[in-house]
Amino acid sequence: MRKIILKGGRLIDPATRTDDYIDLLLANERVAKWGEGTPVDEDTLVIDVRGAVVSPGLVDMHVHLREPGREDEETIESGALAAAHGGITAVAAMPNTEPTIDTPAWVEYVRSRGTAIAVYPIAAITVGRGGKTLTEMAALAEAGAVAFSDDGSPVESATVMRRALEYASMVGRPIISHCEDLNLTGSGVMNEGFASTMAGLRPIPAAAEEVAVARDIILARTTGANLHIAHVSTRGSVELVRRAKEEGIAVTCETCPHYFTLTDDDVRTYATSTRVNPPLRSAADVSAIKVGLADGTIDAIASDHAPHSIEEKEVEFDAAPPGLIGTETLLPLTLTHLVESGTITLGRAVELMSTDPASILGIPHGSLAEGSRADVTVFDPDWAWEVSEDWFLSKSKNSPFIGRTLRGRAVLTISRGEIVFEEPGAAHRAGETHEEGEHHAAELSVHA
Ligand code: DOR
């Protein structure tokens, strides 16, 4: 296996509290050495990454890869490639497939695909995600499930959720809760407010999420188990989690880029790519999410990558399934809407997309300390570019961000020491000439 030196980049690694211009040597699938003076032999690939940021590989803790069952929308392989395209080197795949990932055999199936990046299975909390019978959590954990979730639908019974938290705690895995009170959701399709009234679409109140967040926090306190709340979207949920953390309850949570970049006003276009569950919320909710990301209430940014076919999405708004693709725009949206705007620092962004999700899942990612797995993301934070449908590698194209101009994106993704995505022309190889002091970002011919 080839050694790689990433030369001249700004290395940001929150795990080791590093933000400095340091060269990185990767060898034998590991981070081998930091700093200059590393001997270069003919087996070493030297990549000039001046002007770019070098971070631990991004970890997307919430994706839907649709295999088994809906391979027309995404497969584990295509989902992994799309993630690598977005600078992600590890994903956790939700079990709402057909059939559900609720047996050790299916967990092993997901793990054994041999993908470009690491794919970690999340197993269901209840058999068939039916909400009634708990899965065999010990066997599923043993087979490699990193967490349990019935994502896509909530566990409606508080008793079942309580038992799930107790068992998950015994096997040392978090429960990832899709918090939604289905009675309050009713037949709603978008956030309740002025926009739903104007659009004439059936509303979903913020309380549908918040009631469930409150319940699960109480159950986490009762059981002492690790609770992770998926796709937090409202101000009230952020406040509940903040208070729970102050109390010392073992709760973590994530939000997704669409909850800090879009509002329910965007739904008034009736574009079905804006139909998602939980729904896009109000501007006040978006502000509260941003505060939560900055002050540490929210622990992770995950994409909730939810591929849907054109046939399914090209229908009237009410009839479209909820969900949007997200792995490829996770980093650009975070850089554009949080870092560029000064809401959070680059270091905090890396923490939210790598260090912290890795630690919540207990997986060996999210650090560039010497000896760590050689998973690295190199991104250009300044590149202004327009999102186009044909840029996506995902099998599905249901993104509400097509046509938008974003700033920053991944140019090189390395998983276990192997280059799994490289933007053509983005990095200079050793031996190629370049002017002293010339910046990588400026060299990209595709730069506007
Ligand atoms: O919008 C969503 N789509 N929310 C979910 O919870 C599930 C996901 C999906 O699987 O399509």
Give the DSSP letter string of 169-207.
HHTT--EEE----HHHHTT--EESSHHHHHHT--EE-TH
Atom of ligand 1 nearest to the CA of 324: 1
Give dist(CA 119, CA 404) in Å, integer: 29
Phi–psi pair at 311, nearest 5 degrees? -60, -40
The DSSP code sequence of 328-363 is TTHHHHHIIIIITTTSS-HHHHHIIIIIHHHHHHT-
Output the pLDDT for position 271.
98
Which tokens sit at 106? 């299916």
Stretch 61-77: mean pLDDT: 98
Amino acid, single-letter form, for residue 430: A
Distance from Cα 64 to the centre of ligand 1, integer Å = 8
Give dist(CA 85, CA 305) in Å, integer: 13
Distance from Cα 306 to the centre of ligand 1, integer Å = 6
DSSP-assigned letter for residue 57:
P
Distance from Cα 11 to the centre of ligand 1, integer Å = 34
Stretch 422-445: mean pLDDT: 49
Catalytic residue among 23, 150, 181, 304: 304
Strand 118-123 to strand 147-148: parallel, antiparallel, or no bridges (unpaired)? parallel
Output the pLDDT for position 425.
73
Which residue's alpha carbon is nearest to atom 6 within ligand 1? 152
Output the pLDDT for position 33.
87
Output the pLDDT for position 431.
39
Output the pLDDT for position 437.
37
Output the pLDDT for position 443.
38
Output the pLDDT for position 1.
65
Which residue's alpha carbon is nearest to atom 7 within ligand 1? 152
Output the pLDDT for position 426.
67
Which is higher by pLDDT, 42 or 319?
Answer: 319
Smallest CA-to-CA distance from 229 within 247, 248, 209, 246 is with: 209
Which tokens sit at 249? 């309850």
Which tokens sit at 158? 């508080």
Which tokens sit at 415? 């998983």
Tell me how crowded residue 277 is: count the other CB atoms within 10 A of its CB. 21
Atom of ligand 1 nearest to the CA of 96: 10
Give dist(CA 328, CA 289) in Å, integer: 21
Instruction: Say whether pLDDT at 447 is over 60.
Output: no
307 - beta bridge partners?
Answer: none
pLDDT band at 217 (very low <50, low <70, confident <90, very high): very high
Distance from Cα 276 to the centre of ligand 1, integer Å = 7
Stretch 322-336: mean pLDDT: 98
Give dist(CA 153, CA 170) in Å, integer: 24
Euclidean distance between the first and final Cα of the chain, in Å?
A: 36
Smallest CA-to-CA distance from 298 within 344, 366, 265, 342 is with: 344
Look up 304 and say whether it is catalytic: yes
Percentage of the chain exceeding pLDDT 70:
95
Amino acid, single-letter form, for residue 374: A
Q: Buried b vs exposed e over 189-205: b needs ≥16 C-beta within 10 Å?
A: bbbbbebbeebebebbb
Ligand 1 environment, Cβ below 6 A: 64, 96, 151-152, 178, 276-277, 306, 321-323
Stretch 305-314: mean pLDDT: 98
Distance from Cα 321 to the centre of ligand 1, integer Å = 8
Output the pLDDT for position 354.
99
Atom of ligand 1 nearest to the CA of 151: 6
Amino acid, single-letter form, for residue 72: D
Q: What is the pLDDT of residues 195-214, one digit of tens each?
A: 999 999 999 999 999 999 99
Residue 31: partners with Cβ closer than 8 Å, 6 or more residues away: 24, 25, 368, 369, 370, 371, 372, 373, 374, 376
Which tokens sit at 285? 């909710």
Best of 153, 274, 275, 277 for a ligand 1 pocket test (most atoms within 8 Å of beta carbon)? 277
Strand 175-177 to strand 227-229: parallel, antiparallel, or no bridges (unpaired)? parallel
Output the pLDDT for position 220.
98
DSSP-assigned letter for residue 36:
S
Q: What is the pLDDT of residues 233-284, one digit of tens each?
A: 999 999 999 999 999 999 999 999 999 999 999 999 999 999 999 999 999 9
Atom of ligand 1 nearest to the CA of 178: 6
Q: What is the pLDDT of residues 5-32, one digit of tens each?
A: 999 999 999 999 999 999 999 999 999 9
Amino acid, single-letter form, for residue 126: T
Strand 405-415 to strand 418-422: parallel, antiparallel, or no bridges (unpaired)? antiparallel
Tell me how crowded residue 2 is: count the other CB atoms within 10 A of its CB. 11
Output the pLDDT for position 197.
98
Element of type H or E holding 122: strand 118-123
Output the pLDDT for position 427.
58
Give dist(CA 115, CA 120) in Å, integer: 11
Strand 88-93 to strand 58-63: parallel, antiparallel, or no bridges (unpaired)? parallel
Element of type H or E holding 63: strand 58-63
Give the chain's mean pLDDT. Answer: 94
Phi–psi pair at 231, nearest 5 degrees? 25, 65
Q: What is the pLDDT of residues 132-188, one digit of tens each?
A: 999 999 999 999 999 999 999 999 999 999 999 999 999 999 999 999 999 999 999
Domains of the chain in start order, with CATH, are 3-54+372-447 (2.30.40.10), 59-361 (3.20.20.140)
